Structure 1
């Protein structure tokens, strides 16, 4: 007979008691903003999950792991330490991209937004229908992914991408994801580029 101490006195171990105990544990607060959305490729879902948990290899996180770097400054703006929240949200370059994306999806972003978790919470509160929430969440994931790729392209290839090109890439990749993965094969590019497809 297996015993375990759930409260003060030992009890007979039951799997159902363990399950209820585990269900009662609060999740990491940061992960409560994440959705495993099948409209988004698995690789991007994983990337977003790692980004929210601050597990992508930014310069700050690499320096914390004692990896020698010439600088921990952001490659895109060269004015602040490259943390996840800086790179994906508060960097000057990222701010320009997010401003263009917010105008496209017709959601205003507050100026005080400083974290990826805050952005996801804001998106959740601003969207009315479930389909629009999914679409905007997908666009936010695409934006984070494109910003990460732009950063890597600059570091490893020395090539900077113009903001207008970045926004065009976000629109294109999110269009393909929605068209192929959300089953919206009749989706029109013109409506998508004006974000008039989820009324």
Structure 2
């Protein structure tokens, strides 16, 4: 405004505490030192020599990072299991449930990410649902009840679900065992 800068903040809540006030003052100081240029925004592609985004460069970058010949994991949507349980396990397979490790990875400041139940490892979805001592005991009981071979609780969720789908049982029995596994993970 008139050659100067005025910052009009529209925060959802008021600043809380001295630390936030100090951070706000520091932000304002840095912004005052920054030269604002009034040009159109441009998208750049960091993996491209031309620095201009195009689909060819995006595909090339992805193919360098992924094995395109590897078969993608296909989650089994079992109609015998409740939808909320299926959705939870689907997210857990991809480590997208709010465990302390996932929250820390998402920017939440957590000092301790060790499992609060057993204290033996970081709290990940695989740990909580399979590898934690509590989860292992639950799986031992499920194995006894369903009369299936021992569940591999040392692996990951994808491996366990694949093992259950590969059991030498009738189709209906595999579907029932899969639904039990889904509901067990939801309950844990």
Q: TM-score range by the shorter chain?
A: 0.5 to 0.7
Name the structure, 1 or 2, with higher relative contact order (CA <8 Å, separation 6+): 1
Alpha-carbon contact 1:60-1:81 (below 8 Å) kept: yes
Does 2:80 align with 1:29? no
Deviations 1:52-106 (A, max 9, x none): 1111011100011121224101121112100111111111111111011011101
RMSD: 2.3
Tell me what 2:112 maps to.
Answer: 71
Match of 1:44 in 2: 85
TM-score, scaled to structure 1 = 0.56
Q: What is the CA-CA distance between 1:29 and the residue it aligns to?
A: 3.1
Q: Distance in 2 between matches of 1:77 and 1:67?
A: 22
TM-score normalized with structure 2 length: 0.59
Query: Pick from 119, 136, 139: which aligns with 2:180?
Result: 139
Q: C-alpha deviations, 1:161-186, integer Å up to 9, x for none?
A: xxxxxxxxxxxxxxxxxxxxxxxxxx
TM superposition shift of 1:111: 5.2
- What are the equivalent positions in structure 2 for 1:158-177 lying under 5 Å apart? none
- Mapping 1:1-199, distance limit 5 Å: 29-30=72-73, 32=74, 34-109=75-150, 113-147=154-188
TM superposition shift of 1:27: 8.6
Structure 2 residue runs without a partner (length 5+):
1-54, 57-67
Structure 2 Cα separation of the partners of residues 112 and 97 of structure 1 = 11
Distance in 1 of aligned mates of 2:187 and 2:152:
21
Q: Name the structure where helix makes up a greater proportion of residues.
A: 1
Instruction: State the 4+ residue runs in structure 1 displaced beyond 2 angstroms.
Output: 25-30, 110-113
| Aligned residues between the structures | 123
Q: Which runs of 5+ in 1 are unaligned?
A: 7-24, 148-199
Shift of 1:113: 3.4
- Alignment partners' CA distance in 2, 1:54 and 1:112: 16
Map of 2:46 onto structure 1: none
Q: Secondary structure at the match of 1:76?
A: coil
SS of residue paired to 2:166: helix
